[in-house]
Amino acid sequence: MQLLPNENGNPLEGLIPDDLYSLLEQHQLLSEKGVRDYQIRQKFRSYRNQNVPAYDAIESLRDEYPYLQFDTIRKIVYKLNGRR
């Protein structure tokens, strides 16, 4: 999976501190899919804040995550996967 860490290896910077991320990762307590979905939602919000249309934002995310379908990314960003 394509997790994009900061310089300290924490792709959840701003959400949890680097030392906590390292501890959770060391004990295999993180879901790679959950981290990926969080990053996708953050990037989508960033695109939308720049007034990028939703369709174009999702297409840009598809370029970054080519193994995901358009509808999969749409479900991730709009949380239509059954969990609320």
pLDDT mean by block of 10 residues, the chain; 84 residues: 57 90 91 93 96 97 96 91 50
- DSSP characters over 47-69: HHHTT--HHHHHHHHHHH-TTS-
pTM: predicted TM-score of the whole model, two decimal places: 0.79
Place of tokens 């059954």: 82
Give the list of residues 6+ apart from residue 39 with CB closer than 8 angstroms, or none: 3, 4, 11
Residue 9 is predicted with a pLDDT of 81
How far is residue 58's CA from residue 55's CA, in Å, rounded to a whole number?
A: 5
**One-letter amino acid identity for 29?**
L
pLDDT, tens only, 5-27: 545 689 998 889 999 999 999 99
